[in-house]
Amino acid sequence: MQLGLTCPRFTWPGGDAAVAGRFAQVARGAEQAGVASLWVMDHFWQIPNFGAPGEPMLEAYGALSYAAAHTGRVTLGALVTGVGHRPPGLLVKQLTTLDALSGGRAVLGLGAGWDEEEHRAIGVPFPPAAERFERLEETLQIVRSMWSDDEEPYHGRHFSLDRMSTSPRLTRPRPPVLIGGSGEKRTLRLVARYADACNLFHGADVRHKLAVLREHCERVGRPYGEIEKTLHMRLPEGRSVAESVELCGEFASQGIDHVIVAPPDASDGATLGHLAELAEAIREMTPEGRSPGERTGMLRART
């Protein structure tokens, strides 16, 4: 099992002037702690689960590029990018740039999006759910085409691109794609067809959701074991390392390969120490359905 860290808050002592230094501390600290992946949310303002709308929030891909300059091993991604936030061609260009500048450490996290108020506030359309999922599937098709040798134009119901190539391309055939969400009819179907990894939230019925994913994989002829199963959870203040290890063991027994934690303050020394102990303790846990020592390798930090 692997451990990831997400930094959901940029509210630190010292105010806005402290953000750059503190976030660099998060990135370096995560890598030193042995964390496999580092994530930020792709929101344009703070969301209710983590703070107030007026609190600092960095644009995801600018932040990840900054983190890339302060690290050399940890995998980098947004958990996750709403499909309506950027046109697909621009999104692929941003990921290609991050991948090149990080030495091949980028992951594309995608989802259908949910925050209507945020979309309206920044002038981004927020269509009904059915259309958002259509756009998500078209974006996934565009991603595959742009990160291939196919330069044919793409013309879908919602997106049209005249030129499908992009450069520089460092990771071959492409950076990994992760889809966030646990919807059984649409999200997990798209995971089976297009993604290298899925992301569930703590509180979901993991065994059931993964059983549904397995069924979708069988329908499309996709090996279920190819997909890395990740789970996002809060790391509350005061939880002991032993409690975190026990919880991760439960997730491994349910089939989770990669746990991504969100602490109250990702730059705090005690938090980073907790993560270092946790990463070491869970490294040899074997998720249900995998052989001892088997790794998907998709979102692992580079050695």
Predicted confidence band of residue 165 (pLDDT cuts 50, 70, 90):
low
> Is 302 a member of any domain?
no
> Is 57 a member of any domain?
yes
> Is 192 a member of any domain?
yes
Non-local CB neighbours of 141 within 8 Å, separated by 6+ positions: 154, 156, 194
Non-local CB neighbours of 175 within 8 Å, separated by 6+ positions: 95, 99, 104, 106, 107, 108, 147
pLDDT of residue 20: 97
> Is 186 a member of any domain?
yes
pLDDT beyond 90 at 81? yes
> Is 272 a member of any domain?
yes
* Residue 196 domain boundaries: 2-282
> Is 303 a member of any domain?
no
Query: 268 with 30: CB under 8 angstroms?
Result: no
Which pair of tokens denotes residue 60? 């995801």
Give pLDDT tens digits for 285-303: 999 977 776 666 668 666 5
CATH of the domain at 18: 3.20.20.30
Which pair of tokens denotes residue 122? 């920044």
Predicted TM-score (pTM) of the model is: 0.94
Give pLDDT tens digits for 260-293: 999 999 999 999 999 999 999 999 899 997 777 6
